[in-house]
Amino acid sequence: MPAQKGGPSVGRGRSSGTVAAVSRTPDPWADILADPRERARAEANRHPEVEAVRGLGVVHRASGFTGRVVELRANMVTLRSTSGQVRTFSLLPGAFVAGGQVATLVRPRAVPTAGPRTASGSVAVARHRARVARASRILVEGIHDALLVERVWGDDLRVEGVVVERLDGIDRLPAEIAAFGPASGRRLGVLVDHLVPGTKESRLVEEVAHPHVLVTGTPFVDVWQAVRPEVVGLARWPTVPKGQDWKTGICRALGEADPATCWRRILGSVHSYADLEPALVGAVERLIDFVTEPPSAEPSNAPHGASSTPP
């Protein structure tokens, strides 16, 4: 007989003295002596499984953090919020909300069939000629930043018609912004290294107050650190003592003779966004989204406040 639905009286009727016996669905958490593995399996079965594909929007239930999937590694998922914050969580049963319902995130079961991917993870556009350059631009601090962005996002930037130019020093930022003349349809995105509170970089960025300028950045001393250390054979990037040239210390740790040779080794180890730290991936993708937003989508009453966003 199918289970009945109704009010509080449903399921009663088997009397035990003066106390009614109530029929209940077994609760896997009710028995404190239950096997934890059985509990985990029961909890997983309570919620649908959702493949954690890149770009999926979810909410982490325990912390309330909302973001999109940017990476999966082992049993962990990395999310990036709309403000650029990046956090990593365990893929526990029922730990997330996806599509408005509690879900268990799982690794994608099949390789996407949408076609080949670019180094940034985007779907490659076949037989596409580079678009005429937009008026909007992205500025990066130096040649190494520019080469790394080109290596991972070059295909995407050509499709979008976005030109990346070198700033050659954060001290030049105010003058570059003034010379560029940002406006609607002519936006400027800026990628800054070592953007942490109390630094010269953060003080200069705080002075930026233009609705058509967005500054993002990473906490790394140099863009070299934005490459995952394991891809170049290190367990972690070494700490270089104060007073010693940072790149010289890194070259010594990698056994390379000079910075030029060391950089070629680092750049050659990068094949996709997965070889970069999420902080850099999130910062660059925010800039691309910002400078490619159609003028019609821009708010007409955008405040003239600081639009820079440290990591």
> Tens digit of pLDDT for each residue in 246-301?
999 999 989 998 999 999 999 999 999 999 999 999 999 999 999 998 876 565 44
Burial 157-180 (b: 16+ CB within 10 A, else e): bbbbebebeebeebeebeebbeeb
Q: Which helix (H) or strand (E) holds 153?
A: helix 143-160
215 phi and psi, to 5 degrees? -110, 125
Please give the C-alpha separations between residue 59 and each of 45, 88, 305, in angstroms, as whole numbers: 19, 12, 29
CATH number for the domain formed by residue range(s) 137-227+270-295: 3.40.50
122, pLDDT greater than 70: yes
Structural tokens at position 283: 């910062």
Query: CA 161 → CA 107, 136, 179, 310, distances in Å?
Result: 33, 9, 21, 26
Work out whether the CA dihedral 37, 42, 46, 50 comes out positive or negative. positive
Q: CA quadruple 126, 131, 137, 142: dihedral positive or negative?
A: positive
- Is 137-227+270-295 in the same CATH topology as 36-106? no
pLDDT in tens, 206-247: 888 899 999 999 999 899 999 999 989 888 999 888 888 999
Q: Where in the chain are the domains?
A: 36-106, 137-227+270-295
Say if residues 185 and 161 touch (Cβ distance below 8 Å). no
The answer to whether 276 touches 227, Cβ cutoff 8 Å, is yes
| Its pTM surpasses 0.95 | no
* pLDDT confidence bin for 14, thresholds 50/70/90: very low
CATH class of 36-106: mainly beta
